[in-house]
Structure 1
Amino acid sequence: MKNSELISARADVLRGGRIESVHHAEISVVNHEDKEILHTPDTGLFTYLRSSAKPFQATVILDTGTDKTFRLPDSWIALACASHNGEAVHIQIVRKYLKRIGLDESALQCGSHPPLAYSIGGQKGAIKAEYSPVFHNCSGKHTGMLSVCRHLGEDVATYLNFDHPVQKAIREKIRKYSGETTVPLALDGCTAPVFYVSVRGMARMYRHLALGSDESLERIWNIMTSHPYLVAGKGRFDTALMEIARGKMVAKVGAEGVQGCAVRLPDGRRFGINIKIHDGNRRALAPLLIETLIHLNALTSEEAKKLEPFHHPTLTNHAGHRIGEILPVFESKARV
Structure 2
Amino acid sequence: MKNSELISARADVLRGGRIESVHHAEISVVDHEDKEILHTPDTGLFTYLRSSAKPFQATVILDTGTDKTFRLPDSWIALACASHNGEAVHIQIVRKYLKRIGLDESALQCGSHPPLAYSIGGQKGAIKAEYSPVFHNCSGKHTGMLSVCRHLGEDVATYLNFDHPVQKAIREKIRKYSGETTVPLALDGCTAPVFYVSVRGMARMYRHLALGSDESLERIWNIMTSHPYLVAGKGRFDTALMEIARGKMVAKVGAEGVQGCAVRLPDGRRFGINIKIHDGNRRALAPLLIETLIHLNALTSEEAKKLEPFHHPTLTNHAGHRIGEILPVFESKARV
> How would you bin the TM-score normalised by the shorter chain?
over 0.9
Deviation at 1:74, TM superposition (A): 0.0
**Secondary structure of 1:333's match?**
strand
Q: Distance in 2 between matches of 1:3 and 1:307?
A: 25
Deviation at 1:125, TM superposition (A): 0.6
* Structure 1 unaligned residues grouped into runs of 5+: none
Deviation at 1:335, TM superposition (A): 10
Q: Distance in 2 between matches of 1:40 and 1:5?
A: 6
Q: Distance in 1 between matches of 2:132 and 2:335?
A: 49
Q: Please provide the CA RMSD for this pair.
A: 1.0
Aligned 8 A contact 2:256 2:282 in 1 = yes
Q: Distance in 2 between matches of 1:94 and 1:207?
A: 29
Q: Distance in 2 between matches of 1:281 and 1:201?
A: 21
Q: Which moved more, 1:169-178 or 1:326-335?
A: 326-335
Aligned 8 A contact 1:85 1:117 in 2 = yes
Deviation at 1:120, TM superposition (A): 0.3
Aligned 8 A contact 1:295 1:335 in 2 = no
> Residues 136-151 of structure 1 correspond to what in structure 2 (within 5 A)?
136-151=136-151
Deviation at 1:2, TM superposition (A): 3.6
Identity %: 100
What is residue 206 of structure 1 aligned with on the other side? 206
Q: Distance in 1 between matches of 2:193 and 2:57?
A: 10
| Cα deviation 1:207-227 (Å, max 9, x = unaligned) | 000000000000000000000
| Cα deviation 1:133-186 (Å, max 9, x = unaligned) | 000000000000000000000000000000000000000000000000000000
Aligned 8 A contact 2:3 2:335 in 1 = no
Q: Distance in 1 between matches of 2:326 and 2:127?
A: 28
Q: Distance in 1 between matches of 2:8 and 2:302?
A: 27
Aligned 8 A contact 1:255 1:282 in 2 = yes
Deviation at 1:3, TM superposition (A): 1.9
**Secondary structure of 1:82's match?**
coil
Deviation at 1:9, TM superposition (A): 0.1
Q: How many residue pairs end up in the alignment?
A: 336
TM-score of the superposition, structure 1-length normalised? 0.99
| Cα deviation 1:228-287 (Å, max 9, x = unaligned) | 000000000000000000000000000000000000000000000000000000000000
Deviation at 1:333, TM superposition (A): 1.5
User: Is 1:39–2:35 an aligned residue pair?
Assistant: no
What is residue 77 of structure 1 aligned with on the other side? 77
| Cα deviation 1:40-76 (Å, max 9, x = unaligned) | 0000000000000000000000000000000000000
User: Is 1:55–2:55 an aligned residue pair?
Assistant: yes
Aligned 8 A contact 2:7 2:332 in 1 = yes
Deviation at 1:292, TM superposition (A): 0.1
Q: Distance in 2 between matches of 1:202 and 1:2?
A: 22
| Cα deviation 1:279-335 (Å, max 9, x = unaligned) | 000000000000000000000000000000000000000000000000000011149
Aligned 8 A contact 1:86 1:135 in 2 = yes
What is residue 286 of structure 2 aligned with on the other side? 286
Aligned 8 A contact 2:26 2:42 in 1 = yes
Q: Which runs of 4+ in 1 moved over 3 A?
A: none
**Secondary structure of 1:218's match?**
helix
Q: Distance in 2 between matches of 1:285 and 1:198?
A: 17
Q: Distance in 1 between matches of 2:5 and 2:63?
A: 37
Deviation at 1:80, TM superposition (A): 0.0
Aligned 8 A contact 2:5 2:335 in 1 = no
Q: Distance in 1 between matches of 2:241 and 2:2?
A: 27
Aligned 8 A contact 1:111 1:190 in 2 = yes
* Structure 2 unaligned residues grouped into runs of 5+: none
Q: Distance in 1 between matches of 2:87 and 2:333?
A: 44
**Secondary structure of 2:56's match?**
helix
